């Protein structure tokens, strides 16, 4: 298989049609069709079902997606490695992170990273579910992943991220409590606003308050992370957020209180075993320096 064929195959699979893939790749559609016909002939079977409004992957096509992504990533890593040896700048950094981690610490880390490597193109994905983050790295879609958990990931190399203090975010009615701390037992009696099970914000609430006698009640569950603070300010409930996000909530009128006892969470940056691209390797080194990370290797 040629690199061009795999690139075309992945573009068709991701865009859902030959026409859309040809437009995205800036190639003529007949050239795309010819390349796919040659690849299917070489493999001995169809990769796509042709439908009236696009395509669908055949079982053979679905089996090819993950290996094709990894081959393309390995080729990109090899190219970047050669460029680094030759003293060239550039490359690409692909990171997938849950939303809370994308806000803190990823945003600040990328700012520091790009100050040293301004020519690296950065691409960030932000699925909310931790399992989707892991799947994106395992499939080769992204090179690096961030999950809001200090637990080591099986069959992955990883390093700890900088710690983030967790704060309670309360409605304006709690203004008289400003400057004080709030205990976990008291907090657990309140109604919570949270994202769905498996998301970072929900896991923070469950982990922090899971040891209380009465588990917290989720009064409103929303898939929209950005909706949490407006709901709190409207008096619909309370929530728990990392300090940087909680501090932003004060500008919207929320009351933010530190917890008693203080709670600090650490997530993990992780990647597949094997060589990293120079862009990713430098980012991992930055995280190690910033967060005093402890690597898990295989």
Dump pLDDT digits (tens) for 21-56: 888 888 888 888 888 888 888 888 889 888 888 889
| Low-confidence spans in the chain with pLDDT less than 70 | 1, 79-90, 291-298
Q: In sequence order, what DSSP letters do the residues of 244-257 get, joined into one string?
A: HHHHHHHTTT-EEE
- By CB atoms closer than 10 A (0-12, 13-18, 19+), residue 239 is buried
Pairing of strands 164-170, 268-272: unpaired
The pLDDT value given to residue 298: 41
Can the peptide bond before residue 114 be classed as cis, meaning omega within 30 degrees of 0? Answer: no
d(CA 146, CA 41): 40
What's the pLDDT tens digit per position in 227-261?
999 999 999 999 999 999 999 999 999 999 999 99
Q: Bin 91: left if φ > 0, else alpha if -120 < ψ < 50, else beta.
A: left
Q: Tell me the domains of the chain and their CATH numbers.
A: 3-78 (1.10.10.10), 89-162+266-291 (3.40.190.10), 165-263 (3.40.190.290)
For the entire predicted model, the pTM comes to 0.68
Q: Bin 171: left if φ > 0, else alpha if -120 < ψ < 50, else beta.
A: beta
Question: Treating both helix axes as pointing N-terminal to C-terminal, what angle do 18-25 and 29-43 enclose, rounded to 10 degrees?
Answer: 110
Q: CA geometry: angle at 250 spanning 246 and 251, to 5°?
A: 120
């Amino acid at each position: 298989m040629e690199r061009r064929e795999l690139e075309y195959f992945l573009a068709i699979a991701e865009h859902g049609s030959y026409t859309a893939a040809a437009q995205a790749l800036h190639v003529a559609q007949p050239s795309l069709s010819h390349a796919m016909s040659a690849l299917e002939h070489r493999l001995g079977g169809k990769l796509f079902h042709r439908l009236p409004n696009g395509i669908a992957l055949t079982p053979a096509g679905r089996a090819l997606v993950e290996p094709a992504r990894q081959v393309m990533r390995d080729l990109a890593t090899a190219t970047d490695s050669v460029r680094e040896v030759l003293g060239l700048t550039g490359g690409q950094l692909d990171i997938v992170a849950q939303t809370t981690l994308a806000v803190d610490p990823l945003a600040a880390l990328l700012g520091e990273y790009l100050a040293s490597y301004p020519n690296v193109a950065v691409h960030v994905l932000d699925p909310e579910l931790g399992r989707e983050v892991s799947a994106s790295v395992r499939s080769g879609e992204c090179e690096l992943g961030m999950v809001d958990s200090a637990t080591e990931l099986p069959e992955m190399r990883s390093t700890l991220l900088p710690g983030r203090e967790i704060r309670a975010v309360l409605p304006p009615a709690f203004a008289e409590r400003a400057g004080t701390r709030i205990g976990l037992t008291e907090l657990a009696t309140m109604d919570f606003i949270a994202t769905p099970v498996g998301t970072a914000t929900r896991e923070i609430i469950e982990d922090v308050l899971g040891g209380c006698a009465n588990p917290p009640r989720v009064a409103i569950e929303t898939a929209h992370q950005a909706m949490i603070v407006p709901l709190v300010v409207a008096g619909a409930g309370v929530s728990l957020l990392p300090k940087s996000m909680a501090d932003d909530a004060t500008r919207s009128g929320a009351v933010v209180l530190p917890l008693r006892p203080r709670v600090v969470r650490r997530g993990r940056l992780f990647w597949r075993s094997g060589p990293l691209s120079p862009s990713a390797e430098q980012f991992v080194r930055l995280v190690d320096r910033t967060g005093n990370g402890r690597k898990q290797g295989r």
